[in-house]
Chain A
Amino acid sequence: EDQVTQSPEALRLQEGESSSLNCSYTVSGLRGLFWYRQDPGKGPEFLFTLYSAGEEKEKERLKATLTKKESFLHITAPKPEDSATYLCAVQPYNTDKLIFGTGTRLQVFP
């Protein structure tokens, strides 16, 4: 069964304290792995799509990496405005649906 597990469930960081969020997945053929940011009560905001193992993408303080079994979202020198829930999703081959994890709630304190 296709499945996504994210860890940790919650993460509290001091401003400037870098860290990583993990997304482990099992899927019968990966078309793409997605990262989204979600603020409370809002829809997910698209961050990255990764297609193959070894791929990396960056956007401001965020960097996403992909291996055959997991993806990491690295946050460098986070700011309070980075506080949000970060969702990981996989899209298997032969389907257009996204399978989401339960997310990591990130809080960054000044």
Chain B
Amino acid sequence: ETGVTQSPTHLIKTRGQQVTLRCSSQSGHNTVSWYQQALGQGPQFIFQYYREEENGRGNFPPRFSGLQFPNYSSELNVNALELDDSALYLCASSLLQGLEAFFGQGTRLTVV
């Protein structure tokens, strides 16, 4: 058991809607990263949060945004959903510049 929990596990949204995904990091970890994994692909880095600030971002548009809270939990928000946003969204927790990142079970988002 990694200790990283994500909610919800599954979600269906309509194109154009907004969605919020949640992640509780592993105890003792201060950094949360979010990844998008399309079917049959490896995870793609969206962004990372450390001490409630964005600490790096991948090639994702601004409609992907996030938050980190004082207890190190995090949210991923996606506005104006598109069909291509359908994917497994993964949260990983670690220590900053740590060399072990542990993933949650993911949230499967389907956009119809």
A residues apposed to B, CB below 8 Å:
4, 31-32, 34, 36, 41-46, 49, 51, 87, 89, 91, 95-103
Assembly CA distance A95 to B48 (angstroms): 10
Q: Which of A43, A89, A96 contacts B42 (CB 8 A)?
A: A89
Q: Are B94 and A96 in contact (CB under 8 A)?
A: yes
Contact A98 B43 (CB under 8 A): yes
Specify the chain B residue showing the minimal Cβ separation from A36.
B103
Q: Could you tell me if A42 and B42 are in contact, using CB atoms closer than 8 angstroms?
A: no
Q: What is the bound-complex CA distance between A87 and B96, given in angstroms?
A: 22
Assuming the A-B contacts A100-B44, A101-B42, are A46 and B99 also in contact, with contact meaning beta carbons closer than 8 angstroms in the complex?
no
- Report the nearest B residue to A31, measured CB to CB: B99
Q: In chain A, what residue has the closest Cβ to B91?
A: A43
Q: Which residues of B contact A46 (CB under 8 A)?
A: 2, 100-103
Complex Cα spacing A46 to B100, Å: 8
Q: Which residue of A42, A51, A96 contacts B97 across the interface (Cβ within 8 Å)?
A: A96
A96 to B50 Cα, complex, angstroms? 10
Q: Please judge, given known A-B contacts A96-B56, A97-B48, A97-B56, whether A102 and B103 are in contact too, CB under 8 Å.
A: no
What residues of B have a CB within 8 angstroms of the CB of A102 in the complex?
A: 40-42
What is the minimal beta-carbon distance from B34 to any residue of chain A, in angstroms? 10
Known: A43-B90, A102-B40. A97 touches B103 (CB 8 A): no
Taking a contact as CB atoms under 8 Å apart, the answer to whether A49 and B99 are in contact is yes
Pair A87/B42 contact, Cβ less than 8 Å: yes
Contact pick for B100, options A31, A49, A87, A95, CB 8 Å: A49
Q: Which residue of chain B lies nearest to A91 when distances are taken between CB atoms in the complex?
A: B99
**Pair A43/B45 contact, Cβ less than 8 Å:** no
Q: Which of B41, B94, B99, B103 is within 8 Å of A44, CB to CB?
A: B103
Q: Is B104 an interface residue (CB 8 A)?
A: yes
Q: Which B residues lie within 8 Å of A91 (CB)?
A: 99
A to B CB contacts below 8 Å, 23 in the list:
A32-B99, A41-B88, A41-B108, A43-B90, A43-B103, A44-B90, A44-B103, A45-B103, A49-B100, A89-B42, A96-B48, A96-B50, A96-B56, A96-B96, A97-B33, A97-B45, A98-B33, A98-B35, A100-B35, A100-B42, A100-B43, A100-B44, A102-B41
